[in-house]
Amino acid sequence: MESARDYDVIGFDADDTLWRSEDAFQMAEERFVELLGPFTPPGIDLAAALRETERSNLSTSGYGVKAFTLSMVQCAITVSSAEVPANVIGRLIDVGYDMLTEPVQLLPHVPEVLAEVGRDHRLLLLTKGDLVHQTRKITTSGLEHHFEYVEILLEKDPTAYRRVLRHVGVEPDRFLMVGNSVRSDILPVLEIGGSAVHVPYHLLWDHEHVADHGEEFSELTSLAELPNWLRRAA
């Protein structure tokens, strides 16, 4: 065991950092466009309409598959001027339930990286979204034993990070967060005086986009680079 004392605690985002998530939303969106096409006037951008519905429901229904599925149904009714048949809505509901039950697909190298960095750091899993779905993913991922503490947060903002760090008893300057979202995993952690490493995923939900944030932080092309990055940081 090395005595790398770069950080004491490393927090990991889950969706699109440890396992695939956005792919399923994109596939659902494609399916929505396919299914609704025959019931909408030509020229309507169905994907944009769905994203707008999601965005307008965000404060009421939050993140996650159930909120997304309700938005698909609502948008289907609106864009078709209520002409969409019930069996098409039934297909949208099936898409949602399939997303809720599909097996977790880990990203490459995840178990090895967690095992390696877990040897000399306390690890946290900090995710966002729906309580029942995230819990199912965590408990079936085979990764839960790597983490000292797991929390499903409503929002990843500075207040939430401060509360979690107080709870696990670590000062921000000994904390590193690793995740794919600059908005949720990087900026709020830098704001409270912690460190963060960005591991972009090839898909990013619109809502998580930020432009011109003006902050400096490290970016890795794969989680596999994390152990070496930590050794250099030590």
In the complex, the residues that contact a second copy under the rule CB under 8 A are: 57, 60-63, 66-67, 69-70, 73-74, 76-77, 80, 82-87, 89-90, 93, 96-97, 100-101, 130-133, 135, 152, 154, 167
Smallest separation (angstroms) from a second copy to the CB of 185: 18
Nearer to a second copy, 75 or 199 (CB): 75
Task: Please report how close the Cβ of residue 73 comes to a second copy at its closest, in angstroms.
Answer: 6
DSSP result, 87-106: HHHHHHHHHHHHHHHSPP-B
Q: How far is the CB of 103 from a second copy (least distance, A)?
A: 14
Nearer to a second copy, 56 or 222 (CB): 56
Q: Which two tokens stand for residue 202?
A: 């090839």
- Backbone φ and ψ for 184, nearest 5 degrees, come out as -100, -30
Residue 90 Cβ vs a second copy, minimum distance, rounded to whole Å? 5
212: left (phi over 0), alpha (psi -120 to 50) or beta: left
CB of 57 to a second copy, least distance (A): 8
Provide the token pair at 220. 């890795």
Report the sign of the C-alpha dihedral through residues 179, 182, 184, 187, in that order. positive
CB closer to a second copy, 68 vs 175:
68
Q: Are 227 and 117 in contact (CB under 8 A)?
A: yes
In the bound state with a second copy, the residue whose beta carbon lies nearer, of 112 and 155, is 155
Question: In sequence order, which residues have a C-beta less than 8 Å from that of residue 219 and are 6 or more positions away?
Answer: 197, 198, 199, 200
* Cα atoms in the 13 Å half-sphere on the side-chain side of 141: 26
For a second copy, the closer CB: 85 or 108: 85
The smaller minimum CB distance to a second copy, of residues 134 and 195, is found at 134
E-assigned strand segments in 134-186: 149-153, 175-179
The CB-of-85 to a second copy minimum distance in angstroms stands at 7
Q: With contact defined as beta carbons under 8 Å apart, do 137 and 16 qualify? A: no
